[in-house]
Amino acid sequence: MKAIKYIGIIFIAILLSTCKDNSSNEIGSVYQCPMKCEGEKTFDKPGSCSVCKMDLQPISIELNEEPNPEEISETSIFNLDSKWNTEEGETILLEDLKGKTLVMVMIYTTCKAACPRLVADMRNIEKQIPNNNDLRYVLISIDPVNDTPERLKTFAIENQMDAEHWTFLQGTASTVREFANVLAVKYKQISPLDFSHSNIISVFNDKGELMHQQEGLGVDNKETVSTILELIK
pLDDT, tens only, 79-101: 999 999 999 999 999 999 999 99
Q: Are residues 81 and 53 in the same domain?
A: no
How many independent structural domains does the chain possess? 2
Q: Are residues 102 and 177 in the same domain?
A: yes
Query: Average of pLDDT values for 62-69?
Result: 60
**Residue 81 is part of a domain; what is its CATH number?**
3.40.30.10
Residue 131, domain extent: 70-232
Instruction: Classify residue 159: in a domain, yes or no.
Output: yes
Residue 191: pLDDT over 70: yes
Instruction: Classify residue 182: in a domain, yes or no.
Output: yes
Q: Are residues 84 and 194 in the same domain?
A: yes
Q: Are residues 130 and 200 in the same domain?
A: yes
pLDDT tens digits, one per residue of 15-30: 444 444 444 444 456 8
Work out whether the CA dihedral 27, 31, 34, 38 comes out positive or negative. Answer: negative
Better-predicted residue by pLDDT, 231 or 42 = 231
Residue 119: pLDDT over 90: yes
Q: Are residues 58 and 106 in the same domain?
A: no
Residue 2: pLDDT over 60: no
Query: Average of pLDDT values for 48-69?
Result: 75
Residue 211: pLDDT over 70: yes
From 63, 82, 112, the end of a domain falls on 63
Instruction: Classify residue 13: in a domain, yes or no.
Output: no
Q: Are residues 41 and 125 in the same domain?
A: no
Q: Are residues 112 and 174 in the same domain?
A: yes
Q: Are residues 110 and 181 in the same domain?
A: yes
Q: Are residues 52 and 155 in the same domain?
A: no
